[in-house]
Chains A and B, each alone.
Chain A
Amino acid sequence: MVDVEPIQNQLVCLGLNYRTTPVEVRERVAFPESKVPEAVQEVRALPGFEESVVLSTCNRVEIYSTHTHADAQQAQGELVKYVIRRFDLAPEQAEALVTYDLHAGEAARHLFRVVSGLDSMVLGETEIFGQVKAAYQVALAAGTTSRTLNKLFQQAFSVGKKVRNETTIQRGSTSVGSVAVDLAEKVHDLKECRVMLIGAGEMSRTCAQSLLSRGAKSIIVSNRSHDRAVELATEMGGTALKFDEWEAAMHEVDVIISSTSAPHFVIKPEQIQHVMKKRRWEPLLIIDIAVPRDVDPAVNGIEGVYLYDIDALQAIADSGRKEREKQLYACEQIIESQLTKYGFVE
């Protein structure tokens, strides 16, 4: 049994996120990474404030603090005034600033949900865990945390891990890009994976970037407009290929992402059969994002070839999202039990 400490009543959280505030306001009040150490000191130096942690990501800005004010409203009012002053907001901008003001158990519940990825735009995403950890480390290094926030954040990390270990909230893919990565990872060792983009559309670029960020070895870009191919290849650290040359290079790659605007199939079974002979049974993943489709569906019948069109990718992403939503109740239950365990709620 953990002691219920009255000091938790002095805990306050002021925040805004992608739900409460449009991006044009969020970007206005975001703390650049380099300014966060300064910000935590400024918050702690406010009259009646003792500890502070500032979390600033592209989707949220949150200030966690402890105070000695008589009531939480007063402390939250001070924090709002600080934000307006700090970012020099005009009266109409200050008027439009919508924040959530939480204290004691509500603030702890919110932090536990944030760390577990339940408050994220992509439900269950894991990046936020590292971002909260980094924010806490900055405050710790700046000396603006003490007993209450140190304990709260340690508890939050432990809850975040528990939620991830005991549920499948982070499993499965929820976007076309992450589905492409998951598929590539189950066909090849991603570090050895060579990727070819045929067509330089926005979605194929997203897929290729997801693959590269997860360690894909190299990328080749081929597009009708060679200048666009060169531009994209340069941006992604790959090489550009003339549009009439991609067919000859197909056997050298492990993943093909196709998104041309051709009105007919550009990749046919005969071509792939020829490619597979040259590949000596090395598996080939083909992701066809184009509408109308670029790849003849009969290609999926060829030994060692795995073809996914946009509908298949979307269906996997949808099912991933649904799977995560199904886990939401179990995650909330864990958080509630931990809030009780740590004495935030009875």
Chain B
Amino acid sequence: MPLDRQLLLLSTLAFLIGVVPAARALFSGHWRPSRQWIPMLIGFILQTGAVYDRGQAVGQCPMKSLSDILVFIAWSIVLLYFLVGPPYRVSLLGIFTAPLVTAMQGLAFVIPDAFPDYAAKSKIDPYVELHAALALVAYAAFALACITGVMYLLQERFLKKHHIGGLFYQLPPIQGLAKAIQKLVYLGLLLLSFSLLVSFKLNTPISNPKLIFAWAVWVLYALIGVIMWRQVLSPRQTAWLAAVGFVIPFISLWLMTTHG
């Protein structure tokens, strides 16, 4: 097994170690954020090594196959988790992030024709690399908005139904979660906008379906962003949008890779 796959497997295990005992401890009420933070950090270091090594092996930013894209998004999600989690006091985000990242990396291993050996490009177009990287980090921001949306919906339900127990005490205030969702959607939208702007400068044209899907995702999140900004819907309804909306970029990734 190549080194990048070994590192990836180890990082997946680290995330799994992070989520299983932490989730058990969380529901029994003995949870402490450090128990989750440490395996997440170890997983991220191993994951970074895997992405770097894979990049070296294929001679470009590894984003060409579905398995590589899943790994790159998973890496971006963990990166954003470390950047976004502490300022918004949503350390619990890790509990919800770890299963998603574990599932994405697990999926990357089992899909048919995982991690193909695509030849190194003779000449790398930096705009293509930048366009793809920005788009995938934007998707990671949407993924985190989705996770934060789920957290909001849980906490909102606990408050409304008077279910004051284990998880209620661990989740952040709904007002903070609503702000975090909004900022993550705006961040993702900004990154995706830059990615699409870069696409106008490409020397190597990329296929139409890819661009169409990327624009479709941009339109969807622009709409969600406007709804949030204009406060057309309640925070609960926008949390639903952020949570369910991520299905579209997730499907578009699969479509993008299958349509070259």
Residues of A bordering B, CB below 8 Å = 165-168, 171-172, 179, 182-183, 185-189, 280-283, 300, 303-304, 306, 308, 312, 315-316, 319
Enumerate B3-44 residues with CB–CB distance to A below 8 Å: 28-30, 32
Apart from A186-B159, A186-B171, A303-B236, what are 15 other A-B pairs with CB-CB below 8 Å? A166-B30, A168-B30, A179-B164, A186-B173, A187-B174, A187-B175, A189-B173, A281-B234, A281-B235, A304-B235, A308-B162, A312-B162, A316-B162, A316-B164, A319-B164
Task: Tell me whether B59 is interfacial, beta carbon within 8 Å.
Answer: no
What CA separation (Å) do A308 and B158 show in the bound complex?
12
> Is A187 within 8 A of B159, CB to CB?
yes
A280 to chain B: closest CB distance in Å? 5
> Is B234 within 8 A of A165, CB to CB?
no
Among residues of A, the one whose C-beta sits closest to the C-beta of B171 is: A186
A211 to chain B: closest CB distance in Å? 14
The answer to whether residues A306 and B231 also contact, given A182-B169, A283-B174 and a CB cut-off of 8 A, is no
* 18 pairs, CB–CB < 8 Å, chain A vs chain B: A171-B29, A172-B169, A183-B164, A185-B173, A186-B159, A187-B159, A189-B173, A189-B176, A280-B231, A303-B236, A306-B159, A306-B160, A312-B162, A315-B162, A316-B162, A316-B164, A319-B164, A319-B165
B233 to chain A: closest CB distance in Å? 8
Task: Tell me whether B168 is interfacial, beta carbon within 8 Å.
Answer: yes
Q: How large is the interface on B (under 10, 10 to 19, 20 to 34, 35 or more residues)?
A: 20 to 34
Residues from chain A with a CB closer than 8 A to the CB of B105 are none
Task: Tell me whether B67 is interfacial, beta carbon within 8 Å.
Answer: no
Residues from chain B with a CB closer than 8 A to the CB of A179 are 164
Among residues of A, the one whose C-beta sits closest to the C-beta of B234 is: A303
> Is B169 within 8 A of A171, CB to CB?
yes
A327 to chain B: closest CB distance in Å? 9
What CA separation (Å) do A188 and B159 show in the bound complex?
12
What CA separation (Å) do A179 and B165 show in the bound complex?
12
Residues from chain B with a CB closer than 8 A to the CB of A189 are 173, 175-176
Residues from chain B with a CB closer than 8 A to the CB of A166 are 30
> Is B155 within 8 A of A167, CB to CB?
no
> Is A165 within 8 A of B164, CB to CB?
no
A-B residue pair count with CB separations less than 8 angstroms: 56
Residues from chain B with a CB closer than 8 A to the CB of A165 are 32
Residues from chain B with a CB closer than 8 A to the CB of A188 are 173, 175
> Is B175 within 8 A of A282, CB to CB?
yes
Residues from chain A with a CB closer than 8 A to the CB of B30 are 166-168
Residues of B bordering A, CB below 8 Å = 28-30, 32, 155, 158-160, 162, 164-165, 168-169, 171-176, 231, 234-236
What CA separation (Å) do A235 and B234 show in the bound complex?
37
Residues from chain A with a CB closer than 8 A to the CB of B168 are 186
Residues from chain B with a CB closer than 8 A to the CB of A182 are 164, 169
Which one of B158, B171, B173 has the highest number of Cβ atoms from chain A below 10 Å of its Cβ?
Answer: B173
Residues from chain B with a CB closer than 8 A to the CB of A282 are 175
A28 to chain B: closest CB distance in Å? 40
What CA separation (Å) do A183 and B168 show in the bound complex?
10
What CA separation (Å) do A183 and B169 show in the bound complex?
9
Among residues of A, the one whose C-beta sits closest to the C-beta of B29 is: A168
Residues from chain B with a CB closer than 8 A to the CB of A312 are 162
Which one of B171, B174, B175, B176 has the highest number of Cβ atoms from chain A below 10 Å of its Cβ?
Answer: B175
B239 to chain A: closest CB distance in Å? 11
Among residues of A, the one whose C-beta sits closest to the C-beta of B236 is: A303
What CA separation (Å) do A209 and B159 show in the bound complex?
22
Residues from chain A with a CB closer than 8 A to the CB of B173 are 185-189
B63 to chain A: closest CB distance in Å? 38
B245 to chain A: closest CB distance in Å? 19
Residues from chain A with a CB closer than 8 A to the CB of B29 are 168, 171
What CA separation (Å) do A312 and B159 show in the bound complex?
11
What CA separation (Å) do A283 and B239 show in the bound complex?
14
Among residues of B, the one whose C-beta sits closest to the C-beta of A186 is: B173
A95 to chain B: closest CB distance in Å? 47
Residues from chain B with a CB closer than 8 A to the CB of A281 are 231, 234-235
Residues from chain A with a CB closer than 8 A to the CB of B164 are 172, 179, 182-183, 316, 319
What CA separation (Å) do A187 and B158 show in the bound complex?
11
Residues from chain A with a CB closer than 8 A to the CB of B160 are 300, 306
Residues from chain B with a CB closer than 8 A to the CB of A183 are 159, 164
Residues from chain B with a CB closer than 8 A to the CB of A172 are 164, 169
Residues from chain B with a CB closer than 8 A to the CB of A303 are 234, 236
The answer to whether residues A186 and B155 also contact, given A172-B169, A282-B175, A304-B234 and a CB cut-off of 8 A, is yes
Among residues of B, the one whose C-beta sits closest to the C-beta of A168 is: B29
The 7 tightest CB contacts between A and B, nearest first, are A168-B29, A303-B234, A306-B159, A316-B164, A188-B175, A281-B234, A186-B173
What CA separation (Å) do A179 and B164 show in the bound complex?
10
A304 to chain B: closest CB distance in Å? 6
A315 to chain B: closest CB distance in Å? 8
Which one of A182, A186, A280 has the highest number of Cβ atoms from chain B below 10 Å of its Cβ?
Answer: A186
Among residues of B, the one whose C-beta sits closest to the C-beta of A327 is: B29
Among residues of B, the one whose C-beta sits closest to the C-beta of A316 is: B164
Among residues of B, the one whose C-beta sits closest to the C-beta of A192 is: B175
Among residues of A, the one whose C-beta sits closest to the C-beta of B235 is: A281
Among residues of A, the one whose C-beta sits closest to the C-beta of B32 is: A165
Which one of A167, A179, A282, A303 has the highest number of Cβ atoms from chain B below 10 Å of its Cβ?
Answer: A303
What CA separation (Å) do A282 and B28 show in the bound complex?
32
Residues from chain A with a CB closer than 8 A to the CB of B169 are 171-172, 182
Residues from chain A with a CB closer than 8 A to the CB of B234 are 281, 303-304
